[in-house]
Amino acid sequence: MRSLFKHSVTAMAAVAVMGFTSCNKENAPEHPAEGHKAVLNITLNNPAMKETRVAGAAPINDNTVQNFSVFVIDENGDATWKTHVIGSGPLTDFEVTTHAKRIYIIANAGDQTANYDTRAELEAAKIDLAPTYATRWATVNTVADLSFTQSGGVWSVTANLTLQFVAARITVKVDNQMTGYTKAGGTVIITDIMLLNARGQSKLFPGDGLSSLIPAAYDTNKKYLEGMAEPATPFANYPANGEFTVDATNLKNDYTFMVTPTTSDFYFYVYENDATMAETFPTIITLAGVNVNGDPVYFPVHLAPYETWKSGTLSGGLVRGYSYDLKITLTGDATIGNGGGVEDPTLPDLNATLDVTLTIADWQATKLEKEF
């Protein structure tokens, strides 16, 4: 049985409380001397995270911090102090000095300390989508130099940081109320649900003054991942050869019509995608099947602001750390034409309606509803 990314992405509010102390046994100066000994303490407020993909409904508690790697950057931009913690911590009395300027943390990725030696390497680091199928990577970094203050001969600084998932989540609920839908000949028959235009890579850290994790450039065949290959009759908007790979295992799932109840749930984890036009390849969720004539038919939802919204708004594309909960209600006549579907999923269905309710949770849930 195929497995799909099925987790609740409801909680990436992991707070890292980091304190540095620097002790001066002599008379303390008015300003922290460079290189005084200090210790780092980190406490994580655990957002539970599962390590496996499973079929069925998304589990409620999938946000546990399994482990985290800490990189403390000195004034020269070097990761002079590094450590890896199994579990959710805390990390106590980790020895550094007052040369420490920035903090970078990678959670749920195993021991990463051997992979990065500088701040530049951390901010240039990219991750392919595949590792997030099994674990929920999360990152956080300070965006300004640490500023030590003096208290009774001890120099200290405390930073409160919130981890964010590298990926976003898409949850799809399908409510098939199509008239005449029988899974037999003479009607539209839906066979699959799939994801199109999933970004193949993401940065781990955005860098100073930035929020997006979208890399400026992509390696060959890692720009997009598609749940299906482009058919013989080309779609209007599809990445060119060399700009995508097909992953029909993790980005495509069998659709099974359920009479009681009439809904089916599907879950995907994807990287952010800032496309706001169909021509620039926004992330698309689509049901796929054949119409009464045996020709391909699709029921797509474009996660972009131009989609046909009935209420609510989506100001941009997919953003890291958000959970997009999408309900697709099928109400067409399955015995006539395409049953409300379209022949090209890369074009928005302008005849459909989309009811949108936007709510923000820790993983920032965004609820979307579409009726065909």
CATH topology of domain 14-165: Immunoglobulin-like (2.60.40)
**CA 8/CA 5 separation, integer angstroms:** 9
Q: Do domains 14-165 and 168-371 have the same CATH topology?
A: yes
Amino acid identity for residue 112 in this structure:
Q
pTM of the model: 0.83
Residue 306 has which token pair?
A: 């131009």
- What are the boundaries of each domain within the chain? 14-165, 168-371
* Average pLDDT per block of 10 residues along the chain, 372 residues long: 34 43 45 66 54 37 73 96 88 83 92 98 93 82 82 71 83 85 85 94 88 84 89 90 89 83 76 93 94 92 82 77 82 88 88 40 54 67
Which CATH entry fits the domain spanning 168-371: 2.60.40.3690, 3.40.250.10, 1.10.3720.10, 2.60.40.1120? 2.60.40.3690
Q: How far apart are CA 58 and CA 249, in angstroms?
A: 18
Cβ atoms of residues 276 and 304 within 8 Å? yes
DSSP string spanning 51-63? SS--SSSPPS--B
